[in-house]
Structure 1
Amino acid sequence: MLYFLQQVLNGLHAGALYALLAFGYVLTNGVLKRTNLAHGPVFAFAGQVLVLVAVYGWNVLWLTLPATVALGIVAAFAYAALTGVVLSRSVFLPLASRSPNAIVVATLGVALVLMELARLAAETRDFWLPPMLARTVTFLAADGFAVTLTVIQLANCALAVAVIGLAAAILSTSRLGRYWRAVSDDPAAAAMCGIDVIAVFHAAVIGGALLAALAGVMAALYYGNISFGTGLVYGLKVLFVTAVGGYRDPLRAALGAACFGIAESLWAGYFPLEWRDAWMFAFLVALLLLSRSGETAAGRIDVTRS
């Protein structure tokens, strides 16, 4: 039982990262309505910027560890915001009314550009941050086995819950949230009602990029480094999770992604780790097919009744 609880707690941390990514992805997809392959790369890019700037601050500027980490975090969010602006104005907005494949190809190109920028900046080397806030907190212990989490895992989970809760409250109660829902439902009707659709579009894309950056910062601080392959895998998983749950409710997508993180941790705890991603992707594909077949069946019933 304690081993099971340990895997669930481990899954909470992974789920917090997935939840932030899913919330940001749905925030962007609500106004874009196109598959965005750049979301995961922005997550990885922000983490890599944090590591690279922290290494520069430590080796060149001779800053203390807290100061160099803080500098890396500021740089990560700044570059993520800049990436969001470029994506929104130069990629998404011109291509939003084109074929859906245009966005897919363009965001794949953006992913390659971000990957090469990070690789060239690091001179094809791996840099690592030292372990931070690695002290363990014990929740339960019996028969020589302890259920624990580190301080940084607890801090990341608390921060993710706070940010998602705040973002969900803003979408539910604020004027910006009402504008986002209006543009997501019908941008033409929203424009006729006096809403600045373009401004809402830009805000949603930049907000999604900042949430991805927050997840990247949290992952880099916890793991010490983050590879670009990790960003692609996280992005694909979040894409499938949000496709299963739908793109209309960011909070629902975040909760589904958190549950997926727990399920993934349970698989890693009880089954071969090398098969984890393959089986989890297969599980997501099966859920996606079942959800789409259910929607099709419901649509046919409605047509028959009408």
Structure 2
Amino acid sequence: MDVFLQQLINGITLGSIYGLIAIGYTMVFGIIGMVNFAHGDVFMTSAFIALIFLLVLTTVLGMTSMILALIIVMVIAMVLTSLMSWAIERVAYRPLRGSFRLAPLISAIGMSIVLSNFVQVAQGPRNKPIPPILSGGIEVMNSNNFAVTLSYKQILIWVTTAVLLAGFWYLVQKTSLGRAQRACEQDRKMAALLGVNVDRTISLTFVMGAALAAVAGTLFLSYYGVVNFSDGFVPGVKAFTAAVLGGIGSLPGAVIGGLLIGLIETFWSGYFSIDYKDVAAFSILAIVLIFMPQGLLGRPEVEKV
């Protein structure tokens, strides 16, 4: 029971990070029907931005409060990553929006390679560590000399994911921007005829997804304490898998899918073999999609006539 509880805590933590990244995938795909394969590397780049500014604040400027430094770094990472994603959408995606369907996909893969190689050249191929942040935690259970611990970093990730999911759900469902996004999701041409600025709405969607990726990148850095230029690919693919599993286009579905992927990974690693945790996660995805092609919370696609 103690191992089960610890793996449950670890799985929810990992799944929360996947869920934050998955929201960016599901928002972009829901509006323009494009899989933004550069989103994983946007997440990785945001982690490096957080790393650089965290070291500047703590080492160069001598800031001693790690909590304050983490908050400042998260805000900086959100702003810079959002600007970068806005530029990527303007340069690499918008000119190809009316072309054949593979063109934006190829462009997204190209941007992914550009970001990955740029960070590799600029920061080097080695792992980049940071000083410990938020050490300590709460001992949930202690039996048979095995302590089940909920660390403060895990609590931070849980609370941040819950607050951001609630905030973005309210934004999409209750605000004018959210109505514009839902209108563009249903029919971009009709939305434009009704006065919705489609280009602005799509750009803001990219910005919002990048801001969430920046939060995920900062939390990833603080949780694991190390980041590498290759950390964008695997979490990006798993976050996209989470978005598909939860139902592409659904914000709660993206987070639920992320939690499921995280739980499958951690439980498989704890009870079976860590070598096959990715096989287990993708196998569950395939099984779910066989019986529920729209995902867990996705809506069946309605053909427009």
Structure 2 runs not aligned, ≥5 long: none
Q: In the alignment, is the contact (CA less than 8 A) between 2:74 and 2:214 conserved in 1?
A: no
User: What amino acid sits opposite 1:10 in the alignment?
Assistant: N
What TM-score do you get using the length of structure 1 for normalisation? 0.88
Q: Alignment identity in percent?
A: 28
Partner of 1:207: 208
**Aligned mates of 1:102, 1:40 — CA distance in 2:** 19
Question: Any conservation in 2 of the 1:2–1:147 contact (CA below 8 Å)?
Answer: yes
Q: Which moved more, 1:72-81 or 1:263-272?
A: 72-81
Q: Does 2:22 match 1:51?
A: no
Aligned runs of 1:114-263 on 2, under 5 Å? 114-263=115-264
Partner of 2:18: 18
Higher alpha-carbon deviation: 217-226 or 47-56? 47-56
Residue aligned with 1:157, SS? helix
Rounded to whole Å, the distance in 1 between the matches of 2:179 and 2:279 is: 39
C-alpha distance 88-6 of structure 1, shift in aligned 2 (>3 A) = same
What displacement does 1:100 show? 2.5
Report the Cα distance in structure 1 between the residues aligned to 2:294 and 2:75, rounded to whole angstroms. 45
Whole-angstrom CA distance in 1 between matches of 2:237 and 2:141:
35
Mapped contact 1:27–1:208 kept (Cα < 8 A):
yes
SS in 1 for 2:129: coil
State the superposition RMSD in angstroms. Answer: 2.3
Q: Which moved more, 1:28-37 or 1:283-292?
A: 283-292
Structure 1 unaligned spans of 5+: none
Give the CA deviation at 1:287.
2.9
Aligned to 1:3: 3
* Structure 1 residue 52 displacement after superposition: 2.5
CA contact (8 A) 1:47 1:225 kept: no
Provide the secondary structure at the position in 2 that maps to 1:34.
coil
Name the structure 1 match of 2:40: 40
Identify the range of structure 1 (155-164 vs 239-248) with the bigger mean alpha-carbon deviation. Answer: 239-248
Q: Is the 8 A contact 1:22 1:242 kept in 2?
A: yes
Matched with 2:279 is: 278
Shift, 1:168, TM fit:
0.7
CA separation of 1:234 and 1:207: change in aligned 2, threshold 3 A: same
Return the offset for 1:288.
3.0
Given that 1:50 and 1:76 are in contact with CA atoms closer than 8 Å, whether structure 2 keeps it comes out as yes
Asked whether the equivalents of residues 52 and 122 of structure 1 are also in contact (C-alpha less than 8 Å), the reply is: no
* 2:227 match: secondary structure: coil
| CA distance in 1: counterparts of 2:118 and 2:63, whole angstroms | 25
Richer in helix (by share): 1
C-alpha displacement of 1:59: 4.5
Cα-to-partner distance string for 1:250-288 (whole Å, 9 max, x where unaligned): 222222221221222111111110111122223323433
- Any idea what SS the aligned residue of 1:114 has? helix
Code of the residue aligned with 1:221 in structure 2: it is S
Shift of 1:69: 4.6
What displacement does 1:29 show? Answer: 1.5
Question: Could you tell me how far apart the structure 1 residues matched to 2:136 and 2:60 are?
Answer: 29
Conserved? CA contact 1:30–1:248, under 8 Å? yes
Mapped partners of 2:283, 2:230: distance in 1: 19
Separation in structure 1 between the aligned mates of residue 93 and residue 214 of structure 2, nearest angstrom: 19
Note the C-alpha offset of 1:248. 2.6
- Deviation of 1:111 after TM superposition, in Å, equals 1.4
Q: Hey, what's the Cα distance between the residues in 2 that align with 1:210 and 1:68?
A: 18
Between the aligned partners of 1:267 and 1:168, the Cα distance in structure 2 is 31
Confirm whether residue 90 of structure 1 aligns to residue 91 of structure 2: yes
Relative distance call for 1:126 and 1:253 in structure 2 (3 A) is closer
Deviations 1:6-34 (A, max 9, x none): 11111110111011111221112212211
How much does 1:161 deviate? 0.6
- Name whichever of 235-244 and 191-200 sits farther off: 235-244
Deviation, 1:54, is 2.5
